C-alpha cells in the first residue's frame, strides 16, 4: 500500500518507517517533498484529533494518496490538561519553546500535583473517512530544567519510572517509551486489524443507552474500528430505542415475558445477534443476567460496564444510583468504572480496564453518578479499541 506521511521531518519519517517495518504490511512511504507538495494547513482545531485530521485531509486532497498526519500536546493535570492543543504556542503566537516552558513552570510554581503526559494523536485518512489512534507517555513536570537533548518541553518532563527527563535520554531510549512511538505502533496494529474481519457489536441495554450512543459516536468519529449491528432491549419503552432510530441501527425488544424460561429468552437473543453477524456483545445498563445460551455462543466476547471499582460494590442489586449510594455510605474516597467480561455471576468476570474517580466531600449519589458516567462514556470505547488493536486479549 502507498502511504503519504504528512511531514518532511526526517526524524518522524524515520520513526514511522522503523516501527512499521516490524509489522507484516508492505508499505511504500511517500512524503510531501516526494510529490512536490508544499502546502502548510492551518491548524485551527481545538483538539489534537481535529488538528491531525485537518492535516491528513488537506494532504490527501493535494495528493490523492491515503495519508497519515499527527498532532502532539502536553497535558498537565494541575492545569486542567493544558497546554494540550496549544502546547506549541502556550506563551503566545510565534513564541519560543523556552518561553513556553517558563510560563508552564510559573503557573505550576505552587502546585504539588506535578502529573503530566505527552499525547500524540494519529489520523489516517483513506479518502473515505478518518481513523484515529493515539499514544501517550505518563510522567511529571519537574521544577527546573534538566538536559540539553530533545526539544519543546523535554527538559522539564520526566517520564514515569525514570530518573531522567526526556532531554537527558538518548534518542533510542526516548523512542522506546515515547508517546509518538506508542501512537505509531498502535497505527500499525490498526492497519493489521483493518485486514481482518471488523468487530461487529451487538448491544444489550435496558435504559437510556447513553453508553451505547457513546460507543456509536466513537465508531462514527473514527476512534473505534468497529461496526454497530443491533440493539436489543428487554424494555419496550427504553429510550435506547431512540438511539437505534437516530443511528439507523436495527432494534429488537426481547423480554422474559415472551418465553417460558430465561434460557429460551437468551437463546433468542443469541440467535438474533448471530443472524446479523455480531461477534462482540456489549452490555450497557442491561438489567438482566446473561445466561448460558449467550455465553456459550459468544464466549469471552461478552463485556459489561459497571459504575464502581470491582470487586467492591458489585453483585445483585448493585446497579444505577444504588451503587453510588453504597459507595458514599461506606465512606470511600474513590470510586470509578470497571469494564469486565460477563459470566454467569453478576460483576465477577475478568477485569479488563478500570478508571478511578475521586469521591468529593459533600458528594451526593447523584453528583458522583454524573462524574462516573462521564468516565463510562470514554472508557468503554477505549477498551474496545484496545481489544481491536491487540492491547487487550480476551
Q: Mind telling me the catalytic residues?
A: 71
Q: What's the CA gap between 330 and 138, in Å, rounded?
A: 31
Backbone angles phi, psi at 102, to 5 degrees: -60, -45
Nearest to 1 by CA among 19, 24, 18: 24
Judge whether 202 and 230 are in contact, CB under 8 Å: yes
**167-183 residues labelled b (16+ CB within 10 A) or e (exposed):** bbbeeeebbebbbbbbb
Judge whether 336 and 308 are in contact, CB under 8 Å: yes
Q: Where would I find the H helices in 37-117?
A: 48-63, 97-107
Paired with 140 in beta bridges are 115, 158
Paired with 69 in beta bridges are 123
Cell numbers placing 27: 508499505
Q: Tell me, what DSSP letter sits at residue 41?
A: -
DSSP string, 10-37: HHHHHHHHHHHTTSS---EEE-TTTTT-
Judge whether 224 and 215 are in contact, CB under 8 Å: yes
DSSP string, 285-347: S--S---HHHHHHHTT-EEEEESS-TTTT-STT--THHHHHHHHHTT-SEEEEEEEE--SSTT
Helix or strand (DSSP H, E) at 356: strand 351-358
Nearest to 68 by CA among 186, 176, 218: 186
Nearest to 355 by CA among 308, 390, 289: 308
Half-sphere exposure of 363 (CA within 13 A, CB side): 26
Cell numbers placing 135: 499514544
Judge whether 134 and 90 are in contact, CB under 8 Å: no
Amino acid at each position: 500500500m502507498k502511504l503519504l506521511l504528512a511531514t518532511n521531518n526526517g526524524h518522524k519519517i524515520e520513526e514511522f518507517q522503523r516501527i512499521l517495518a516490524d509489522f507484516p504490511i508492505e508499505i511504500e512511504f511517500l512524503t510531501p517533498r516526494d510529490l512536490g507538495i508544499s502546502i502548510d494547513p492551518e491548524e485551527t482545531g481545538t483538539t489534537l484529533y481535529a488538528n491531525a485530521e485537518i492535516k491528513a485531509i488537506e494532504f490527501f486532497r493535494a495528493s490523492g494518496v491515503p495519508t497519515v498526519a499527527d498532532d502532539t500536546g502536553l497535558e498537565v493535570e494541575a492545569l486542567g490538561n493544558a497546554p494540550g492543543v496549544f502546547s506549541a504556542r502556550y506563551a503566545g503566537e510565534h513564541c519560543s519553546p523556552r518561553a513556553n516552558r517558563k510560563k508552564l513552570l510559573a503557573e505550576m510554581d505552587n502546585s504539588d500535583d506535578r502529573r503530566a503526559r505527552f499525547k500524540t494523536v494519529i489520523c489516517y485518512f483513506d479518502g473515505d473517512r478518518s481513523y484515529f489512534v493515539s499514544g501517550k507517555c505518563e510522567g511529571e513536570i519537574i521544577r527546573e530544567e534538566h538536559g540539553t537533548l530533545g526539544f519543546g518541553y523535554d527538559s522539564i518532563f520526566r517520564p514515569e519510572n525514570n530518573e531522567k527527563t526526556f532531554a537527558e535520554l538518548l534518542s533510542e531510549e526516548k523512542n522506546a517509551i515515547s508517546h509518538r512511538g506508542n501512537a505509531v505502533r498502535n497505527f500499525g496494529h490498526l492497519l493489521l486489524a483493518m485486514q481482518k474481519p471488523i468487530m461487529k457489536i451487538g448491544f444489550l441495554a435496558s435504559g437510556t443507552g447513553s453508553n451505547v450512543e457513546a460507543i456509536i459516536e466513537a465508531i462514527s468519529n473514527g476512534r473505534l474500528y468497529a461496526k454497530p449491528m443491533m440493539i436489543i432491549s428487554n424494555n419496550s419503552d427504553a429510550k435506547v430505542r431512540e438511539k437505534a432510530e437516530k443511528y439507523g441501527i436495527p432494534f429488537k425488544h426481547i423480554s422474559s415475558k415472551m418465553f417460558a424460561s430465561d434460557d429460551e429468552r437468551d437463546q433468542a437473543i443469541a440467535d438474533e445477534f448471530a443472524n446479523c453477524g455480531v461477534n462482540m456483545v456489549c452490555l450497557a445498563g442491561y438489567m438482566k443476567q446473561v445466561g448460558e445460551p449467550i455465553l456459550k455462543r459468544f464466549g469471552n466476547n461478552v463485556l459489561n460496564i459497571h459504575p464502581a471499582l470491582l470487586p467492591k460494590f458489585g453483585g445483585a442489586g448493585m446497579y444505577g444510583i444504588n451503587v453510588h449510594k453504597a459507595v458514599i455510605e461506606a465512606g470511600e474516597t474513590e470510586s470509578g468504572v470497571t469494564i469486565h467480561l460477563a459470566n454467569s455471576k453478576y460483576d465477577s468476570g475478568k477485569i479488563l480496564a478500570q478508571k478511578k474517580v475521586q469521591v468529593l466531600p459533600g458528594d451526593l449519589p447523584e453528583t458522583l453518578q454524573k462524574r462516573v458516567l462521564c468516565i463510562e462514556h470514554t472508557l468503554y470505547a477505549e477498551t474496545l479499541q484496545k481489544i481491536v488493536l491487540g492491547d487487550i486479549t480476551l
